[in-house]
Structure 1
Amino acid sequence: MIEQVSEESLKEVLPLIRAYQEFYGVQNVCDKKNFEFFSRFSGASELGRQFLFREHEKVVGFATVYFTFNSTITSKIAVLNDLYTLPHSRGNGIGRKLIEHCREFAKNNGAARLQWVTAQDNESAQKLYDSMAAGKSTWHFYTYNT
């Protein structure tokens, strides 16, 4: 079952956020900082939303969507910035359900598209993404720390 993350349920999602960050090699994961950061997506935030997936009353996955704009298509877009399912729950369609839920959320909030990136070596995630009717970009993703 998919539900929007609230400030109360965010406490249940924090261990998954930590696992997600550790999967991507984040150093010095801080639960307090995560709580403060992800709290901005609960309620009716115009910044975006965070969703969780419950299985047998336990949180086993989550997704975070942020809104931004794209000047080449002159439209609001939604960025699926985070998608994570606990390892023992993978392969059961949870990731796909979360993506489709986020796509519908983006559409209902005026976004022209939902887009995301993943690591080049994250082959299990790419297998899911390639099985969907999603386009695969040839753009290179750069970061410049400030």
Structure 2
Amino acid sequence: MEKQTVLKKAELEQVEQVAKLFDQYRVFYGQASDLAGARQFILERLENKESVIFIAFDGSEEQSAVGFVQLYPSFSSVSMKRVWILNDLFVVSEARGQGTGRQLMSAARDFAKSNGAKGLSLTTAHDNLTAQSLYESLGYIRDEHFLTYELYF
């Protein structure tokens, strides 16, 4: 019997599950594991309502968390509307290729649309062709007109 992925908007009760995924996500991007720091970071985002997180469960009796997407609010001054920054998307390796990332992206889109946002914005590495393929298959358009500049402290 095929397992059905279940998505939920993360609440404080899911901090531990999201934190474990968030820690794995950071490790995937070359950071040292820091589960306590990940837990605190996610807890603060949810307590302060500074992000919206959707978490994917594998549908088994154990309800194992297999992925998440995190959105941060921003605004478009020109359109005078909210824009959500899709900052984090992660699916554990054993759940990849099963549509979980696509489901999380759809949940993010549906959430943004239902809240009257102008849209979603995301960035990805030039060499992350798998992610680019997913995003483009979902209707995301590559920006060819603007350059991104960053200033780090």
Shorter-chain TM-score: what band? 0.7 to 0.9
Query: Which sits farther off after the overlay, 87-96 or 7-16?
Result: 7-16
Measure, in 1, the Cα distance between the counterparts of 2:147 and 2:21: 28
- Decide whether the 8 Å contact of 2:19 with 2:42 is kept in 1: no
Which of the numbers 37, 40, 46 marks the counterpart of 2:44? 40
Shift, 1:8, TM fit: 2.7
SS in 2 for 1:80: strand
Residues 142 and 24 (structure 1), Cα distance of their counterparts in 2 relative to 1, 3 Å cut: farther
Which of the numbers 132, 136, 140 marks the counterpart of 1:134? 140
Measure, in 2, the Cα distance between the counterparts of 1:61 and 1:14: 11
Residues 133 and 106 (structure 1), Cα distance of their counterparts in 2 relative to 1, 3 Å cut: same
Q: Which residue of 2 aligns with 1:5?
A: 10
How do 1:1-146 residues align onto structure 2 when only pairs under 5 Å count?
Answer: 1-26=6-31, 28-42=32-46, 45=49, 47-55=50-58, 56=60, 57-138=63-144, 139-146=146-153
Aligned residues: 144
Unmatched 5+ residue regions in structure 1?
none
TM-score normalised by structure 1 residue count: 0.87
Q: AA paired with 1:30?
A: D
Measure, in 2, the Cα distance between the counterparts of 1:143 and 1:37: 22
TM-score normalised by structure 2 residue count: 0.84
Shift, 1:61, TM fit: 0.4
SS in 2 for 1:42: helix
Shift, 1:44, TM fit: 8.7
Q: AA paired with 1:3?
A: K
Q: AA paired with 1:134?
A: Y
Q: What percentage of residue pairs aligned between the two structures are identical? A: 30
Measure, in 2, the Cα distance between the counterparts of 1:131 and 1:34: 31
Shift, 1:110, TM fit: 2.5
Larger-gyration structure (1/2): 2
Q: AA paired with 1:25?
A: G
